[in-house]
Copies of this chain bind each other. A is one copy, B any other.
Amino acid sequence: MSSQVDATADEATEEMNVVTAVKETLRQEMHRDEHVRLLGYDIGPIGGVFRATEGLLEEFGEERVVDTPLSENGILGTAVGMAMRGDRVVPEIQFTGFFYPAFGQFMYTLVKMYERSGGNLEVPMTVRMPYSGGIKSSEYHSESTETYLVHTPGCRVVVPSTPYETKGLLAASIRNDDPVFFLEPKKIYRGSTEPVPDEEYTLPLDEARYVRRGEDITVYCWGAMVRHAETAADNVDADVEIVDLRTLSPLDVETILESVKKTGRAVVLHEARRTLGLGAEISALINEYALDHLHAPIKRATGYDVHFPGHQIEDDYLPDAQRAQYAIEAVMEYEF
């Protein structure tokens, strides 16, 4: 089951972009719970390379906003210790592409301690990582690395697609007792704003969101791809349903199946490479549990199976509204 949550009209709101929503949510959560502690390099005086923690060092002091040495594995490994000790740690990894040196602590302790200890030690943690492409930066600054996380049990993976979603999902992640990877699509950090309630609120961490309802075909997407799905939906001659997965792990399989059983056609849209990108899992699930509802093959409109290219040709790698539209049209036109 899944639900569309809206800011109701009479609430006090503020116009925000995604990066401001991150910062304001961190501030709110740090006021709410003194055990929330931020960790990462460059998160102090400059407030992170994207300014998502700007001002928090001054406000909370350097015991709460901990600027660390340059070691992703050290950050994750000490964060696990802090969480075991009762902190709610929010480490930042500067870019998803710099997560790899931390893979040891990720696999051995972060996702494992709770299980290994038979539930006796908890690791509440929200690892924030600026995620995905579109900002024409250099190598390792544009990757979508969710497969490495989603294939691994013991953690949640969350991707917001709007400022409103950002606040509710980030607050929920910080309050959640599991390790959560909170992937922030850089492309939409500053692109557009929307009114975000001043009040605290949380959104569920296991429910996809219907961005729009439709009868003919489902587009599964998340993060910065959602707006491309919307543009494509506007431009095609079909009644498109758009599902924003929001939580890549655990997957909201119920909503995934519910939608495609109704529409009978599906496209997955993601920036990650295609082979074993999350589109593969969605396609396989539909095959397993909804095959006889399917009127056409599922197409994956994704990045290609290559290293993320240089910025001159980045736009040729990245899926966009046009690529989404092609996939929708191809699937719509298919006849058995």
Contact = CB atoms under 8 A, between A and B. Distances in A.
A177 interface: no
Interface string A270-303: 0001011111110110111101101011111000
A147 interface: yes
Given A281-B276, A291-B297, A306-B153, A108 B100 contact: yes
Nearest to A268: B284
A155 to B, nearest CB: 11
Contact of A283 (B106, B148, B287, B299): B287
Contact of A154 (B286, B300, B307): B307
A286 B297 CA distance: 9
A151 interface: yes
A280 B284 contact: yes
B291 A296 contact: yes
A251 B278 CA distance: 18
Contact of A289 (B111, B275, B297): B297
A150 B297 contact: no
Contacts of A281: 275-276, 280
A78 to B, nearest CB: 16
Given A100-B107, A103-B103, A104-B103, A151 B288 contact: no
Contacts of A148: 148, 151
Interface string A34-45: 000000000000
A147 B153 contact: no
Contacts of A23: none
Interface of A: 100-101, 103-104, 106-108, 111-112, 115-116, 139-140, 147-148, 150-151, 153-154, 249, 251, 273, 275-281, 283-284, 286-289, 291-292, 294, 296-300, 305-307, 336
18 contacts: A100-B108, A111-B307, A116-B139, A116-B307, A151-B276, A153-B273, A153-B305, A153-B307, A276-B281, A280-B280, A280-B284, A284-B284, A287-B287, A287-B298, A288-B299, A288-B300, A291-B294, A291-B297
Report, nearest first, the 5 A-B pairs whose CB atoms are least far apart.
Answer: A103-B103, A283-B284, A101-B104, A151-B276, A280-B280
